[in-house]
């Protein structure tokens, strides 16, 4: 069996001076060769690894037999963001992980084949999709990220009049505001949003659900059901001494700025950057810092390399680009330069009290292992939580103590009948990824359809 075909990547030197996409799309020959490796399993395991329910065997087969439009149709019907997912899905933990369990030595490069088809569609200008005439039953979607947009598309193609209320002036959620273009170019997201627009979905931008527009208002305006998909907008802080110094920023602000959006605080990246965190966001931030002028970027995180929560591919990219790592370490305070600017990170190495439990509460400082890392910029990338304002807006909906929404796992209905929720804002999502958000959007649309039909009876 021949080996896996890999997409060409830009070299380190080509990458770190700009935000150009790192991976190139397959050529038609590469795509055909890779599709021809597929064993066309009777009960394809890869399909079970795709949260969005893409029939992978079917689109790979269509590439093999040069039915590219047929393949595009399979993808677009199952996943409104199949071009974005082709680039950002942690495939080695999803579809390709299950493909690995077959007799193939290496799994089929599903992400790259999916990208080949969606790029083909985009480059051909997309084909007009059939529109379903909207009925007069109105459904509101709050939040225009992948969960909200995927739900709106499903609802519109099932004949509902779906309106998305988005707080910001642009759609796309974290795909637009946080994932930089070296991973996900904006035109890919824009093309997919345009396809959703073609289905008849209405968009209301700069329209937050807020004190001025409540869930009650939406029902009063004739919306019969609401899907809440507001994501996580509040960056977590460490709560350490010196965190308010000049030069200490949140990941969200740096990423908004590199994506051309307005950060809450203007970020000035210096030459010597420390990134705190071991997740994929921290890796993305570290690679972004290199692209905006940092000469040395060091990731400081609690976990050892094989314990980090980041997707393996993101760690590899950061490593390849020259990011340095100080692992099993935690910051204790940020030092100043005698004025109000950050000048260093003081920290300590850690070990785990209980093996295999990689959470801050389980970390034990190792005596005598203190260190000081001089730096001029610190970026805190330790995750996000629900926006305090959002919690007030959803007054009446049941949340956990930290403000994440609680839903029925089967229906995604919240504690209020007719109000559904999905995506990152859930208390216990299966995972916080774009493809999982799409899956929640599809699940919510199905439940809303059933709910509205039940309420008719």
Binding stretches for ligand FAD (CB under 6 A)? 88-89, 142-148, 165-168, 173-175, 178-179, 183, 208-210, 229-231, 233, 255, 280-281, 284, 390, 393, 423-424, 432-435, 437
Instruction: Decide if residue 273 touches ligand SF4 (CB under 6 A).
Output: no
CB of 304 to ligand SF4, least distance (A): 27
Instruction: Decide if residue 318 touches ligand SF4 (CB under 6 A).
Output: no
Instruction: Decide if residue 118 touches ligand SF4 (CB under 6 A).
Output: no
8-state DSSP, 443: H
Instruction: Decide if residue 25 touches ligand SF4 (CB under 6 A).
Output: no
Residue 112 interacts, among ligand FAD, ligand SF4, none and using kind-specific CB cut-offs from 5 to 8 Å, with none
Instruction: Decide if residue 83 touches ligand SF4 (CB under 6 A).
Output: no
Residue 114 interacts, among ligand SF4, ligand FAD, none and using kind-specific CB cut-offs from 5 to 8 Å, with ligand SF4
CB of 402 to ligand SF4, least distance (A): 28
Q: Is residue 242 within 8 Å of 336, Cβ to Cβ?
A: yes
Residue 386 interacts, among ligand SF4, ligand FAD, none and using kind-specific CB cut-offs from 5 to 8 Å, with none
Q: Which long-range contacts (CB under 8 A, 24 or more apart) does 124-131 make?
A: 126/191, 126/194, 126/195, 127/69, 127/72, 128/198, 129/76, 129/195, 129/198, 129/199, 131/198, 131/199, 131/200
Instruction: Decide if residue 50 touches ligand SF4 (CB under 6 A).
Output: yes
Q: Which long-range contacts (CB under 8 A, 24 or more apart) does 363-369 make?
A: 363/302, 363/330, 365/330
Q: Rounded to 5 degrees, what are φ and ψ at 296?
A: -140, 125
Instruction: Decide if residue 110 touches ligand SF4 (CB under 6 A).
Output: yes
Listing DSSP states for 202-245 in one string gives: EEE-S---BTTB-HHHHHHTTEEEEEE-----EE-----BTTTS
At 325 the three-state DSSP class reads: strand
286-169-237-229 Cα dihedral, nearest 10 degrees: -100
Residue 88 interacts, among ligand SF4, ligand FAD, none and using kind-specific CB cut-offs from 5 to 8 Å, with ligand FAD
The residue among 167 and 348 lying less far from ligand FAD, judged by its C-beta, is 167
User: Both tokens of residue 175?
Assistant: 């795909």
Distance in angstroms (rounded) separating the CA atoms of residues 215 and 223? 10
The residue among 270 and 429 lying less far from ligand SF4, judged by its C-beta, is 429
Strands 419-421 vs 223-228: parallel, antiparallel or unpaired: parallel
Among 94, 162, 238, 445, binds ligand SF4 (CB under 6 A): 94
Instruction: Decide if residue 52 touches ligand SF4 (CB under 6 A).
Output: yes
Instruction: Tell me how long the chain is.
Output: 457
8-state DSSP, 23: B
The residue among 184 and 405 lying less far from ligand SF4, judged by its C-beta, is 184
Q: Is residue 22 within 8 Å of 15, Cβ to Cβ?
A: yes
Q: Which stretch binds ligand SF4 (CB under 6 A): 84-92, 200-208, 289-297, 334-342?
A: 84-92
Instruction: Decide if residue 435 touches ligand SF4 (CB under 6 A).
Output: yes
Instruction: Decide if residue 95 touches ligand SF4 (CB under 6 A).
Output: yes
Sign of CA pseudo-dihedral 382, 386, 388, 390: positive
Instruction: Decide if residue 79 touches ligand SF4 (CB under 6 A).
Output: yes
Q: Which residues bind ligand SF4 (CB under 6 A)?
A: 50, 52, 54, 56, 79, 85-86, 89, 91, 94-95, 110-111, 114, 435
């Amino acid at each position: 069996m021949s080996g896996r075909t890999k997409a060409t990547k830009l070299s380190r030197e080509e990458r770190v001076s700009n935000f150009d996409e790192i991976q190139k799309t397959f050529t038609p020959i590469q795509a055909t060769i890779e599709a021809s490796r597929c064993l066309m399993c009777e009960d394809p395991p890869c399909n079970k690894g795709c949260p969005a329910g893409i029939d992978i065997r079917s689109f790979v087969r269509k590439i093999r037999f040069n039915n590219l439009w047929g393949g595009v149709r399979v993808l677009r019907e199952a996943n409104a963001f199949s071009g974005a997912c082709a680039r950002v899905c942690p495939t080695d933990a999803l579809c390709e992980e299950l493909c690995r369990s077959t007799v193939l030595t290496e799994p089929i490069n599903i992400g790259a084949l999916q990208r080949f088809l969606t790029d083909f569609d985009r480059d051909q200008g997309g084909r007009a999709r059939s529109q379903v005439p909207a009925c007069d039953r109105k459904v509101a979607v709050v939040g225009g990220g992948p969960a909200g947009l995927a739900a709106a598309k499903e609802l519109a193609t099932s004949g509902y009049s779906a309106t998305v209320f988005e707080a910001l002036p642009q759609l796309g959620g974290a795909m637009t505001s946080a994932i930089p273009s070296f991973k996900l170019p904006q035109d890919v997201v824009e093309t997919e949003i345009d396809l959703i627009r073609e289905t008849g979905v209405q968009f209301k931008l700069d329209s937050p659900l807020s004190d001025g527009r409540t869930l009650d208002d939406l029902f009063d305006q004739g919306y019969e059901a609401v899907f809440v998909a507001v994501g996580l907008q509040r960056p977590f802080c460490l709560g350490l001494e010196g965190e308010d110094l000049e030069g200490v920023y949140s990941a969200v602000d740096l990423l908004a700025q590199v994506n051309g959006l307005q950060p809450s605080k203007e970020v000035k990246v210096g030459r010597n950057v420390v990134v705190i965190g071991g997740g994929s966001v921290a890796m993305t931030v570290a690679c972004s810092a290199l692209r905006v002028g940092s000469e040395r970027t060091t990731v400081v995180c609690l976990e050892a390399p094989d314990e980090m929560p980041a997707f393996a591919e993101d760690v590899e990219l950061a490593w390849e680009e020259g990011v340095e790592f100080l692992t099993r370490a935690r910051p204790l305070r940020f030092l100043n330069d005698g004025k109000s600017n950050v000048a260093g990170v003081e920290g300590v190495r850690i070990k785990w009290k209980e093996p295999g439990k990689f959470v801050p509460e389980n970390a034990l400082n190792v005596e005598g292992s203190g260190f000081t890392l001089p730096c001029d910029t610190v970026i805190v990338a330790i995750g996000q939580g629900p926006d305090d304002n959002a919690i007030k807006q959803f007054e009446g909906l049941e949340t956990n103590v930290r403000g994440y929404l609680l839903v029925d796992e089967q229906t995604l209905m919240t504690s209020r009948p007719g109000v559904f929720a999905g995506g990152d804002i859930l208390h216990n999502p299966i995972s916080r990824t774009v493809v999982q958000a799409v899956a929640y959007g599809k699940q919510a649309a199905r439940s809303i359809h059933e709910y509205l039909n039940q309420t008719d009876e």
